[in-house]
Structure 1
């Protein structure tokens, strides 16, 4: 008995158990994709703020005022920007008259020396307490009285324009009956006595004209820092409606004129 028939018998018995793929190629199973992890949505926790009980919490917050650049505001919005507060212009620099043929020549707007000044002693004549002041605009003269006694006489500069003051900014000195209602030792001029302009007549006239009266009419010295001009300031009317004297003169007047002193200003 040979082995060949036996081998055939064995092969025929195992043939049903073998598939064609088993005889040569190894087939690997396709791996299933990994499952995508499910991530729960993130919820922002709500934290209730704690009350600030520190000492700093009771301090007031600083107030910051924004600076508005008017140039950067559109044209349609410029009406919303508050107009700046008007500032009174500073008096022009003092200028002495120039000597010309035939005598002193005054620049436009300057006033010649009043005739009463020649040979008249100006300034405080007697120490005392004034109860009235008379200002004569046409003569550029201010006289201090104690009853009927003359305490002092001063040459003054007045408003740049002639006439009776009617409204704010007209550069005229008022005319009428007033009184000294305040003394200002820290004025931008060297000492200042404030006059009670406007009075009832001034207010009535302004209402009729539909204008504002203005205010801040004073008897004062020269602008701070320009006191060295001295009597040269009298060479022209340079105020915005006030009555001006030299620094030395306002110191004399200050010592003699209390609040309540009557002030009559004549044309």
Structure 2
């Protein structure tokens, strides 16, 4: 019996000691400053900040709330690995330090992943079911990047087609080409302005978009680029362009692209 107790004590001690080993990096080094310090100076709606702090801060900031089981190896190693990787992709503790362009890219990524249901990941939800994003949370995050008072209508003034071309190559070129559907997730976009939605021959559209009966104009492209789900729920485009000026520039560029049959 004594030997059994000694073995048990040694095992518990070894497990506890291994919890202080960090094979994937130590995300506990940076001391927390408090959840109230996150996104304090970020240019985003207050309700969106609240969702990000409440639902995302555990993995995507230095304000991780460490439960007791997070010290027990080898499970602690997997938890730390996930947090280290999550902070590399987006660290809310350093949001204000990021260049504006990186903030815009991450904003679009947040919206995309919230709508697709990819975040929070399943391994986190298994232990923290309350972190699941509600429909209201997704709708709130969908408004990220919109400036105060911005409506669905285009802002005053015309977009810049030169900037729009650069924005297209950066934001849209991975899924769309101008003259071909081949090998692309989205339809070709030459001649899209003035075209009926869901009408490119040879491309398979979602039923909702194909039956929408909508024509692509300044106003409809603005709404679509801002939030496709607000135009039609049944669509296959999970990407949006949160910044209004960039939407205007993209539309100006697309208006110049004529169809070549």
If the length of structure 2 is used for normalisation, what is the TM-score?
A: 0.24
If the length of structure 1 is used for normalisation, what is the TM-score?
A: 0.24
Where is the strand percentage greater, Structure 1 or Structure 2?
A: 1
